[in-house]
Amino acid sequence: MGGPLDGMLVVDLSRALAGPHAGMMLGDLGARVIKVERPDGGDDSRAWGPPFVSAGDEHVSTYFLSCNRNKESIALDLKDDDDRAALTELIRRADVLIENFRPGTLDRLGFDPKRLEELNPRLVLLSISGFGHDGPEASRAGYDQILQGEAGLMSLTGPDADTPQKVGVPIGDLLGGIHGVVGILAALVERERTGRGGVVRTSLLSSLVGVLAFQATRWTVGGDAPRAIGNQHPSIAPYGAFRCGDGVVQISVGSDALWRTFAPIVGVDPNEERWATNGRRVADRDALIAHIEGVFAGSSRDELLAMLAEAGIPAGKVRTVDEVFAWEQALSQRLALDVHHERMGDLTLQGSALRMFDFDGTETGRTAHDAPPLLGEHTDAIRAWLAS
């Protein structure tokens, strides 16, 4: 397949999004990923819709399509002895095993860490949970929006402190998968040194708290508990979304040097005392925003963006998703990926965020991509391989 993980085998027991996203990333990097699904319906996300893509009586959730490319699917009932034996053989051959059951579920199925080590001492196990694998609330079910609230993210997102808002994608799940892949890759490097695998654990809670960034240290170091302030930056001004004659533009005046360039554009003396430094602009943000939007009201979005670009002020549009996938820059980064589905024909998926190159500029990553599989599509072929 190509890519740095070519030749590695990943067995993916996970469902929904966090684990499948991790498995998809590993597949994008060249690993062979075998997705283990329940025979009666498979991954939960196969039923999450609308929208669905349909061909005859076959319906595929677009949600499932978003996180399961470059995988094979085998249908196994893990309460059945024969199917559990097939999983056991997969584990013996695997480099990585991914699971996101509630803590303790894999143990009850007969695959606790000690048993996994006996089967395959070189195995790297990734376990993703909602609230963590230990602690007083480890047993709670971990769904993304619940964790966005519990981890503090919703208190920072929205127009004001009284209107908490979730992020528009399941960011806790996605970050859980990404952090899981970082852990897997670190464990694989360590395995090269020690010859032994190990257990990587992450959670939606830790992944979200871990990216609170400067908002966390505002409290832990500064004693200032942050709250949502809409589309403005809490520590930099002017930085955010501003209304103009026909919509919204975003600008980032991230330094006093940029302010000295930007201020004359909106008819302000850069040395005017109340706005001369970033700290003063933040303190007087409301008045500054009102002034800027008053000036911007007489111009269209495109006019302003052209003027700001010429002046060297970082600025941009607020694009809709359909506009993103028609944008030449996004397409140049291979963020639209064409695949052929067994039943649905040609499909376009979002592409990988990673690209791999030699130092001479030759792209070395995976060049051919597979559509997300049908439920159990590869069961017979995988069983035949295991029996060989």
Nearest to 352 by CA among 25, 5, 80: 25
124 pairs with which residues across the strands? 96, 198
> What burial letters (b/e) apply to 46-65, b meaning 16+ CB within 10 Å?
beeeeebbeeeeeebbebbb
Spatial CB neighbours of 304, under 8 Å, sequence gap ≥ 6:
244, 249, 296, 315
- Structure-token pair, residue 135: 């602690």
| Cα(226)–Cα(95) distance, integer angstroms | 42
CB-neighbour burial class of residue 236 (10 A; exposed 0-12, middle 13-18, buried 19+): middle
| Cα(267)–Cα(311) distance, integer angstroms | 14
- Distances, alpha carbon 48 to alpha carbons 41, 60, 167, 328, in Å: 12, 9, 19, 31
The secondary structure of 265-277 as a DSSP string is: GGT--TT-GGGSS
- Structure-token pair, residue 269: 């003396």
Identify whether 286 is a catalytic site residue.
Answer: no
| Cα(103)–Cα(137) distance, integer angstroms | 11
- Distances, alpha carbon 121 to alpha carbons 94, 96, 135, 268, in Å: 10, 11, 27, 67
The active-site residue, picked from 57, 173, 286, 360, is 173
In the block, tokens 């700290």 appear at 279
Helix H or strand E encompassing 61: strand 58-61
In the block, tokens 């990333």 appear at 25
Q: How many Cβ atoms are within 10 Å of 230's Cβ, its own excluded?
A: 12
- Distances, alpha carbon 224 to alpha carbons 49, 217, 227, 238, in Å: 41, 9, 9, 21
| Cα(206)–Cα(176) distance, integer angstroms | 8
What is the set of active-site residues?
Answer: 173
